Structure 1
């Protein structure tokens, strides 16, 4: 039997804990007791632990009382992961995680692992809204921005909230084969592997900085004139720069080329229209600045891993 410990701390996200717990619990229905999962929670201190939603959970034990090594050690995310300070937990993880068979995080739990030095020289992921913050906080980690979950040697990390279910299903598939994991997924009414990554949920264009500069002025112009033909030469002229210099400065400040910014902005506009309206695809393509429905479909498939039809179906 594999021992699975999930660490709790103040302001953890309840679903980050509950999702994996249910996966392992349901997997036990299909496994011989000797090959199943013994799941328990660990608190930093004795007593109730308050989740970010207000629910209080009584942990099964405390960090200093658990017998190590563990087979699987997971840290859920939540506001407490990136806003709180947990020196006791971090110090414990520095010793317990390397000794565990596998260890990892759900959602923003990656920040706690990062503070323990456990992300360095590993490929990792987290919720799309926090990937940039994770990159800046832990530059020695290789952060994948579009993965639902990532396995890198013994380290396992996942995107936000429900991605903890995907992560746990992948563990069950590793341990007991795809058939058992698929049976668990059917009980939970989820798919074994989602089509597309986190990009289908995250905006491709970040909020434009408020401070005025030639580059931010161009960004605002693009967002306000998406229905019009746009080219790099035109944007460089707006910034009063040569095309070569403009392209170099834009890429450095925005972290993407001018053409990629235009395409991503158009995809974001189309996504918004597909989510909130019943406009025909031809109209959505026109209002988003695509030359045709075919062009919109090709860019959608390349960037989001799904067509506009599939995208609309997912959100309506």
Structure 2
């Protein structure tokens, strides 16, 4: 958007039950970009023009109805919401999405907003992502969509989709970089005190969120590598080589910054990966063990006994029950 060009319109679609941060995150990015040379004009749009109440109970003022958006070009943002299973059946909402997309140069979804795009038929034959908790459901409901479950955001043609909640900020920063260049996007990220580009994918939002943040950049790179591929050979020697330090120094870094040992940290990441597989798949124990880095079912069993006090089979039975009793409770 060179100087003298007309403002670029950003239309954020809102609806009852929308997730608040899915709306405000992108709005903050685009309006902050205006402080660094951008010319974005952001407005909220609802299917009928009525104000809405978000999932958190906060009211949102709406600028206009979807049918009132007449300008061609611009960006359309489709947020998500916890009630997406019912939202994908809302014909008025889906019609509004199709109409807005038809006039946009870029349509972007946040979190479970990908389900709305898919239900509207806009992701057919495309790659997409969504919140890691719902990636499998997106792939199951819409087999014509290629789901990239670990991506923070995916660009396919004029459509972009992003992962859970705060990744809408990552996606919006990418759009600012597309429009105004990396320097402006970097200035916006710095002003908002967020990453210009976060390391790793959605796999980082797991064990990493419950452990202290490493001060050393090279240690953070090691932690990212473990989170991204738990099955890789993450021995102490291998991690030390990646960081360019001695094994003694690597052990000291884990002790001082992470309050744990390298081996214990790797096991925690692998445990979490194994738990996710047991909850979400019917894969044999040998497959679970191999894909999560434990190697064998026996090693997997010992790790579960050590960390949870139960067997992997008992864990799967406890957390994957799909039958209900006569009173409607899970069996």
Question: Could you say which TM-score interval applies, normalised by the shorter chain?
Answer: 0.5 to 0.7
Structure 2, unpaired ranges of 5+: 1-6, 207-271, 295-301, 305-331
1:104, CA displacement in angstroms?
Answer: 1.7
Deviations 1:288-307 (A, max 9, x none): 59xxxxxxxxxxxxxxxxxx
1:91, CA displacement in angstroms?
Answer: 1.4
Deviations 1:245-293 (A, max 9, x none): xxxxxxxx947675551155568xxxxxxxxxxxxxxxxxxx859xxxx
Structure 1, unpaired ranges of 5+: 211-252, 268-286, 290-316
| 2:27 alignment partner, one of 10, 21, 27 | 21
1:43, CA displacement in angstroms?
Answer: 1.1
1:186, CA displacement in angstroms?
Answer: 0.5
CA distance in 1, matches of 2:78, 2:274: 30
CA distance in 1, matches of 2:20, 2:192: 17
Write out aligned runs for 1:125-274 (5 A): 125-201=129-205, 203-205=272-274, 254=281, 258-263=285-290
Output the aligned Cα RMSD.
Answer: 2.5
| 1:78 alignment partner, one of 78, 81, 93 | 81
Contact 1:172–1:181 (Cα < 8 Å) also in 2: yes
- Pair 23,208 (structure 1): closer, same or farther in 2 beyond 3 Å: closer
Deviations 1:79-129 (A, max 9, x none): 233333321121132233133100020000011111110011111000000
Contact 2:111–2:130 (Cα < 8 Å) also in 1: yes
Which range is displaced more, 89-98 or 176-185? 89-98
Deviations 1:202-256 (A, max 9, x none): 553455779xxxxxxxxxxxxxxxxxxxxxxxxxxxxxxxxxxxxxxxxxx9476
CA distance in 2, matches of 1:257, 1:198: 25
Q: Does 1:60 align with 2:63?
A: yes
- Pair 68,89 (structure 1): closer, same or farther in 2 beyond 3 Å: farther
Name the structure, 1 or 2, with higher relative contact order (CA <8 Å, separation 6+): 1
Contact 1:10–1:80 (Cα < 8 Å) also in 2: no
Q: Does 1:105 align with 2:109?
A: yes
Paired residue total? 226
Q: Does 1:91 align with 2:95?
A: yes
Contact 1:150–1:157 (Cα < 8 Å) also in 2: yes
CA distance in 1, matches of 2:192, 2:289: 39
